[in-house]
Structure 1
């Protein structure tokens, strides 16, 4: 049965060997392990961490970002590890191999990762029956499904429409991902006209589904882009914005792999992602919920993002360096920090450092 202290000890012992493996192979072994490792129920979250966003009840605000569980194989295991929600994908209508390997690079000295995976996944048909079975094993955890377009698609908006029709019935929330730097031309869908057309088509495709639609955007935006995205998202009744994805910029880095192409995640993304969150909070005036992602590794990081306007936070790269107990330990510490600062709920803390 999964226990935080024993898992932490095992990870610390195994980490030197794991890091000797090629990064994508190590990731594959991690997914395989989570599919077979006996686990107990999810740790009980402190009531101060419970929050409601877009009509969904989250036991705690710490989520697993997409990219870790691309094919929707272990969301139930992630909830049992202490995550309040797990977002799987990105799932495309058709299976695709992604970009040539190697395509994941650890930047150990920077506690960062560069990837150029390119939406590699086995397709939505492969995931649908599995996710339907897993929904009953999620307990109070929330399941998000992240959808994207195939690289060789002649009509990317049609791909998102297909994704909405396929995956919305299985999702607690659906994320439209137009922010990956590893599918050529994808980020152009963030332009105002293209975004309005895309979101209108997706919202129409949702039909009678009650799943709220979230939009995931890149950190590499200009001020005018931010205003346009907020305007279009509000008009199309998008339920939340996820700020943000990996960056194509390169802050000061020390690791040997710093020159690899792809999206940078982890600790060096923290300042940029935090600033973009503040920018979107200012542009939206708190009218639309925001989810903070990028460079979050500690409870202090999570609280900083919440106080800057995030209702929820997500992580991924930090777990590579800190191990599988990160969500459970972060949740416990976050509860202590909230109480120490006099907050009685997550909602009370949201935007408290910027809404003045």
Structure 2
């Protein structure tokens, strides 16, 4: 059989998120802003003796690195999207980038917390006026960065479908109410987690900037020098908690966990009819807004796999479906 004869049944494995290129350049813009502010805050923190400002600066350094990883993940995923070495494409590069940056964040959280504890024991003089001015500039940059990523969809949903096997919604055999009840789960599946991670990075930066400003104001007007290292500790706790959440979310995708039980329920509801039973079902995420499924069906009356795939067209996000059909052996023997 010639290669050309199988082309109608072949398909690509490009499972990138919607607006992939736009999200990539938005991320690089934020990297530049974050890096510039990071340098300013670290230099100012050393010059003015502010632990909270240093914590914010080093926090921004970790986010600059994490955002760079996100940008590189976008670039690499786009560049190798059609590389046959990646069996299901490069859609999960963002999850790998998020997992890596989360580990770095956890380590930096420990370092900031430790340094802040040392400052409790040995306080240092702080030049409050200059330190507050720099912290405010950092906060403004963080808010601008958050707006850039927010406009790019870092908080929203991604409804791109890259595979011809799953393109339509609201199939006539199913109730609109069922789909409405699953809309929340569907939205989570369509998140571009790489961009969302970048968005959460700058939001966390903004929070630590606020903590630094609060500490500096308290020290300047009330003499509460202890507020500076205290805010450093609070910042480290925030970073650690965010890091843990990112680790769990990225690991779930990297380990091919079922993205949401609602998807499995939908598949079973669509296919387990007229005596057909699903003997084996694997559902996992292969990219932002893209889910793959391998389904083994046992039935008395086998049909072509394409007939079963057609029944799944209404399920949003199913971008790569493999169906295996087995005739029920027990009934075969009875018939004989």
What TM-score results when the alignment is normalised by the length of structure 1?
A: 0.23
Greater fraction strand: 1
TM-score between both structures, scaled by the size of structure 2: 0.24
